[in-house]
Structure 1
Amino acid sequence: MLDGIVNAITVVGRTVVVGGSFSEVSDANRRTTYLRNNLFAYDLHTGRVLPDFAPSVAGPVYGLAAGDGGTVYVGGEFHGIDYQRARGLARLRLSDGALVPGFEPRIGGGMVSTLARHGSKLYVGGDFVSPRTALARLDATTGAADPGFTVTPGKPLTARVKVHALAVSGKRLLVDGTFTTLDGLSRPQVGLIDIGGRTAKVAAWRTSTYARRCAPEFPSYVRGLDFSPDGRYFVVVTTGGPKGGICDTAARFETYAKGSNVKPTWVNATGGDSLYSVAVTGAAVYVGGHQRWLDNPRGRDSAGPGAVSRPGIGAIHPRTGKALSWNPTRERGIGVKAFYAHSTGLLVGSDTTRLGREYHARIGMFPLP
């Protein structure tokens, strides 16, 4: 990718789909340049850009999810694709980039920031106001809103409610964002929703961890999240400024803990630099942002006692919460906004061109142990 930033990655079969804000991409050999408006796809094994998948997306892409039958769901801040109306959410064919007929979501009043496909359902988060406020469950084929899902985020810390990230594991949906309530129940910035029944309901899980304040310019500071492969725990990463506490950290929580003040199992602090994305593989918790350090709870925009250098990307031991020795480094820039872990490796998307001490223009892949 030759300009801009990667915001989202997904894999459909052997095809990698990349979304963000950009205009040009090239093959892995850097011999051919392709014009691509905010969305492109390439072969996972060869790095070859798919020449026939070239939809023109009229605005940034923030969320992607794999669909059936060689399709992909695309969410973002756009009003059209290839001069056809598509507000915030669309389903496209990988074969030719065309809109899939019959998928007609009614997203309105805002953008889509995150997507998660779960069987026949598609979970959608953002700051939209319809078909529901900021969070919806749609039929993955038609795009119709599911009447059995009415959980509503409320009482935002910012001007409007926004869901930043969501993930699904088994019968639990994990969400974070600017909200402080879910269905009127106190859930400051993070909440779990039971989706196993006919009607979704807020789980009996609450943490006051993110009720604490960070820097004034970050009234809401939760960003990325991810479940472990077995769904037993999850990790949340934050921005927030060099204030300490839970600001600029990664924190592990147990999915099936219960109570009104669930504590994190561990917290790893950068000491003043934002984390935006996280991928949990079981062997490691990979975190990305524009951090300089990990293991730095006493740092205040500086390296405190025990801090380890991990510029832009790092890995944390899932049980101890301490940084692993893995330290490929990357140009920090704005930061890593997208991870995608799969059997072949860990895909990393950002806004810079140096990753693992090599040239990898805004997207690269590491083998997984």
Structure 2
Amino acid sequence: MNTVSAPARAVRTPRRRPQRRALIAIVAAAATLAVSNVVPLSPALADTRPADTAVPQTVSSDGLPTAQIGTGLAHEKGDNINGGVVWDQVVVGDVVYVGGDFQRARQPGDGADKAVERKNFLAYDLKTGALLDVNIPFNARVRSLAASPDGKRLYAAGSFTTVAGLTRYRIAAIDLTTGSVVSDFKPYLNSSAYTVAASATRVYVGGAFASAGKAEGFDRVASFTLDGQVDRAWNPKPRVDPKGVPNGMYGGTKKKITGSDLVQAIVVSPDGSKVVISGNFNSLNGSNPLDTNQSGYGMGMVRADNAQMLPWKVNKVVRNATSNSAVTSLSTDGEFVYGTGIWTTVHKGGNFEGTFKASWDDGRLDWVEDCHGDTYSAFSHRDVVYKASHAHACDTLGGFPERSNTASHGKWYRALALTKERTRTLTATPRTTYVNFAGNPAPSLLDWYPDLRVGTYTGMTQAAWDVTASGDYVLMAGEFVAVNGVSQAGLVRFASPDIAPNKQGPVLSGADVTPTVTGIQGTYVRLEWRANYDFDNGSLQYDVFRDGNTTTPVFTKTVRSNFYMRPVIKATDGYLAPGTTHTYRIRTSDPFGNQTWGETVSYTAPKTGALASDGQRSTYDSAVLADQPSAYWPMSESSGALAVNWAGTNHVNSLSARVPGAEVARNPKARAYSLSGTTWAATAAAEPTSATFTTELWFKTTTKTGGTLVAQTTKRDLTSAFDRAVYMDTAGRILFTATDGTAKAISTKGAFNDGRWHHLAVTIGASGTTIYVDGTARVSRADLRTGAMLGGRAFWAVGAHNLAGRHLAPAANGHFAGSLDNIASYNRPLTAAEVSAHYTAGVAKP
């Protein structure tokens, strides 16, 4: 059994060849560094079938059958016969070439008895995953691979000294037309190489070597001609400047940090004129590591002909160097450079564990994502950037928060997908041991979470070390031993939804998707359950079936969710005859027809205390409830002081009078709350406030004194602190006021105190505030994006509240004279289409 010590960090330097579909991915290795573990969230954007066609589509999370490394038998750290690790993979045409630390390989699905010899190098078919009859043995680790732009040569770099029995000192070339080692390319490196990249005329290599081609002064990085001669005109100098090696860690702890001048990654520009170099060095070509206006701290860009320094502006933001941190992976899609970082958290030599996107022009930052947890490789393919990492918190870009080890998907997420385009701005990290990247442009995290089980070969509790892509396929490689619970060692393919089996469906079933059932005045029920989730679809459909009828659901709704954001879904059903018993069951479906079912629950409607038939749920009620309000008071009771909350348990009281409601055109017995100009009501309890929300209701009035329709208040009175108030001025205009840093207001131009029923909705969110009346947007204000949180909980005051100090506030306590009906609130801004649909569903139109 061969053993291996933990190698230097994985590097990745792919480049895309022009006018070829194959993507050249040049990567390698792992890490000597110890890995250290170290707020409202927005949903991810897309998946394999996004609801919005304007957002990017990912590949499926289905792991396709792919060639495997090792025998698959149980193995421990360093066992490269039964196990192993893949450091790099490169696609040329329909062939995937693979390098790493392994001695055996298998066809997809084969067991140990069918393993064949493949020493640190193999090839498989991109479209079928089948192991190919390519057997070129390397006597030690292959760390990095790169194809020539014309696809005729494959360059390998690593720790080997022989290839197919021929002496080659840590770098070699293979003729892909003949499958033989190129005889006249045999440079000399005196120690390990970690990265190799190729242009049409040069081969660039970096690593730990102190001598290249036995030439003096060429160390850590070098360039060779196609016949293996050292390019003496190209000699960058990655170095350790002692004054740039900090002592200490974030948080004040004292600890010595050592320098390192290793080169971990190289990428060449599409025209071959520029080269970006990264690694552990803190100075490049004499740059000052203390001057953030100079590039060279852990990475820099140089000319490809003479190694002269060029601007690399992203280095002002990403500062990774010394033995504790580095940018260990570089790739390009032809237009931009993508880099990834590793960093032993709290060490001051570095600051970055995520992915950045920078321009080839001068290295200016396009975006950066600072998910916590080292990132080993990233690759841009079509409109998505895929990455291999062990991310455990992505909340700064609206993704998952820090996860516990008891989470269903584990603490670390090994394969993630990001938007290629910038979509947002990073928020601040709450953790003092991390560097704050808040305010920088960022991508969004997409709904793609294949489950890669960690391997044991490196002893570093990792799974994927590398990612690349070509055509309809995204390829992951590393030391993982299973994908989505199915044995799959070291290599896996993921395909676009057009050709994938698309069998990864909703995850939860049974008791996890079983609703609680609550009676609403006897003859209606409210069903509540927490959303399901899927590893490659963010939008799932929920159907509620009654009494075993699985053909016609009583409720259908599509809701966005994922494993870290599972909103509570609410459904209502009725009219149920008093004394009857009914069963309910929920089905979850993804866009490809995969389904899971929850358990069956039953409910018996009481024989007494039932809502009268004139209070039956209306078309408008159904439209509102389907859009998941946090609270909804239909005011449908024929009498009494209580308005029942059909979306929760926080009711409104005390109502003093009832009048015909907004739904009276369809139901003559419909009711609304009548306010005399001295009366008011409020919720029985405070409920959580939300930074974004919608307030919706119907109103009718002829008042000339204005008044408060609804407002949120800290106490159940008319004079306490308040916010999010909807009111009318003496001219009959509708106003809304909220505090977004300062108190702001917005007002309609037209008057609505004409004695007719009007539908009103006020939305507030990231794009600002809009007032809708009768389904039409009347006025908007872009700089009013949230309201005061009021300590996190607030009562709803209905029909009155003192709004002193606000724009055109009504007099005194703002008592409103008129009628209010169908009051609802939501913890999100309704869309214009949703508001219009609600108005259309209403039974009273002006």
1:327 aligns with 2:449: yes
Please report how far the alpha carbon of residue 107 of structure 1 lies from its aligned counterpart in structure 2 after TM superposition.
1.8
The residue aligned with 1:234 is 337
Number of the residue aligned with 2:240: 155
Q: Deviations over 1:228-285 (max 9, x none)?
A: x242x32221121344983322223333247xxx6x44332333x2111111225112
Report the Cα distance in structure 1 between the residues aligned to 2:412 and 2:184, rounded to whole angstroms: 46
Give SS of 2:402's match. Answer: coil
Asked if the contact 1:311/1:331 (under 8 Å) is kept, the reply is: no
Q: Whole-Å Cα distance in 2 between the matches of residues 302 and 13 of structure 1? A: 40
User: What's 1:136 paired with?
Assistant: 222
1:177-326 alignment runs, 5 A limit: 177-186=279-288, 187-195=296-304, 198-206=305-313, 207-211=315-319, 219-227=324-332, 229-231=333-335, 233-243=336-346, 246-257=351-362, 264-271=365-372, 273-296=373-396, 302-303=402-403, 311-318=413-420, 319-320=422-423, 321-326=443-448
Q: For structure 1, which segment, 351-360 or 18-27, has the greater mean C-alpha deviation from structure 2 after superposition?
A: 351-360
Question: How many percent identity over aligned positions?
Answer: 23
- Report the alpha carbon displacement of residue 356 of structure 1 after superposing the two structures with TM: 4.7
Q: Does 1:175 align with 2:303?
A: no
Report the CA distance between 1:310 and its aligned residue.
7.1
Query: Partners of 1:65 and 1:242 in 2: how far apart?
Result: 31
Q: State how far apart, in whole Å, the 1-side matches of 2:449 and 2:91 are.
A: 25
Match of 1:365 among 472, 493, 500: 493
Conserved? CA contact 1:251–1:268, under 8 Å: yes
- After TM superposition, give the deviation of residue 113 of structure 1 in Å: 0.7
2:477 aligned residue (312, 336, 349): 349
Query: Residue 195 of structure 2: SS of its match in structure 1?
Result: strand
Alpha-carbon spacing, 1:70–1:221, altered in 2? closer, same or farther (3 Å)? closer
Q: Counterpart of 2:65?
A: none
Equivalent residues of 2:371, 2:393 under 8 A apart: yes
Q: CA deviation at 1:163?
A: 1.1
Q: Is the 8 A contact 2:473 2:494 kept in 1?
A: yes
Residue 116 of structure 1 aligns with which residue? 197
Partner of 2:103: 23
Work out whether residues 190 and 210 of structure 1, in 8 Å CA contact, stay in contact via their aligned partners in 2.
Answer: no
TM-score (norm 2): 0.39
Contact 1:162 1:178 in 2 (8 A): yes
The 8 Å contact of residues 296 and 303 in structure 1, kept in 2 or not, is answered as no
Does residue 45 of the first structure (1) align with residue 127 of the second (2)?
yes
Unmatched tracts of structure 1, length 5 or more: none
Going from structure 1 to structure 2, the CA distance change for 1:66 and 1:254 (only over 3 Å counts) comes to closer
2:485 & 2:393 partners in 1: Cα distance?
Answer: 17
The offset of 1:292, in angstroms, is 3.2
Q: Is the 8 A contact 2:90 2:147 kept in 1?
A: yes
Amino acid at match of 1:183: N
CA distance in 2, matches of 1:247, 1:48: 38
1:13-64 C-alpha deviation (Å, 9 max, x unpaired): 322111111111111242632111111112223333232x322212111110
Contact conserved, 1:78 with 1:87, CA < 8 A, in 2?
yes
CA shift, 1:164, in A, is 0.7
State the alpha-carbon separation in 2 of the partners of residues 242 and 60 from structure 1.
Answer: 29
SS in 2 for 1:239: strand
* Paired position in structure 1 for 2:84: 4
Are the aligned partners of 1:292 and 1:312 in contact in 2 as well (CA < 8 Å)? no
In 2 relative to 1, CA 295–356 (structure 1 residues): closer, same or farther, beyond 3 Å? farther
Per-residue deviation at 1:173? 1.5
Task: Label 1:39 to 1:145 Cα distance change in 2 as closer, same or farther (>3 A).
Answer: same
Structure 2 CA distance for partners of 1:5 and 1:92, relative to 1, 3 Å: same
Answer whether contact 2:398 2:444 (CA < 8 A) is retained.
Answer: no
Q: What is aligned with 1:90?
A: 172
Deviation readout 1:312-351 (Å, 9 max, x if unpaired): 0101122122211222232244132222222231111010
Equivalent pairs, count: 350
Deviations 1:188-225 (A, max 9, x none): 00111232xx4342112242334468xx9x53332212
Distance in 1 (alpha carbons) for counterparts of 2:147 and 2:320: 36
Alpha-carbon spacing, 1:342–1:149, altered in 2? closer, same or farther (3 Å): same
Q: Given that residues 297 and 320 in structure 2 are in contact (C-alpha distance below 8 angstroms), is that contact kept between their aligned partners in structure 1?
A: no
Deviation at 1:103, TM superposition (A): 0.9
In 1, the alpha carbon distance for the partners of 2:306 and 2:121 equals: 35
| Partner Cα distance (1:277, 1:39) in 2 | 20
**Cα gap change, 1:358 to 1:82, in 2 (>3 Å):** same
Unaligned stretches of 5+ residues in structure 2: 1-68, 71-82, 213-217, 246-257, 289-295, 424-442, 455-460, 498-846
- Counterparts of 1:194 and 1:154 in 2: how far apart (Å)? 18
Between 181-190 and 241-250, report the one with greater CA deviation: 241-250
Q: Give the drift of 1:354.
A: 2.3
Q: What letter is aligned with 2:308?
A: K
Q: Would the alpha carbon gap of residues 230 and 90 (structure 1) be closer, same or farther in structure 2, given more than 3 Å must change?
A: closer
Whole-angstrom CA distance in 2 between matches of 1:159 and 1:253: 26
> What is the distance in 2 between the residues matched to 1:189 and 1:224?
12
RMSD: 3.0
Q: Could you tell me which residue of structure 2 aligns to residue 146 of structure 1?
A: 231
The aligned amino acid for 1:117 is A
CA 1:13–1:294: 2 relative to 1, 3 Å = same
- Over alpha carbons, which structure has the higher Rg? 2
Distance 1:317 1:71 in 2: 32
Q: Which residue type is aligned with residue 139 of structure 1?
A: T
Distance 1:74 1:322 in 2: 35
CA distance in 2, matches of 1:220, 1:240: 4
Relative to structure 1, is the Cα distance of residues 323 and 93 closer, same or farther in structure 2, using a 3 angstrom cutoff? same
1-side partners of 2:310 and 2:187: how far apart?
27
Q: Within 2, Cα distance between the matches of 1:178 and 1:82? A: 32
Q: Taking structure 1 as reference, are residues 70 and 50 closer, same or farther at Cα in structure 2, changes over 3 Å only?
A: farther
8 Å Cα contact 2:89-2:96 kept in structure 1: yes
Does structure 2 retain, via aligned residues, the 8 Å contact 1:237–1:250?
yes
- Matches of 1:178 and 1:280, distance apart in 2: 24
Partner AA of 1:366 in structure 2: F
- C-alpha separation in 1, matches of 2:198 and 2:177: 20
Determine if contact 1:54/1:97 at 8 Å carries over to the other structure.
no
1:77 and 1:111 in contact (8 A); partners too: yes
Paired amino acid for 1:322: S
- What SS does the corresponding residue of 2:464 show, helix, strand or coil? coil
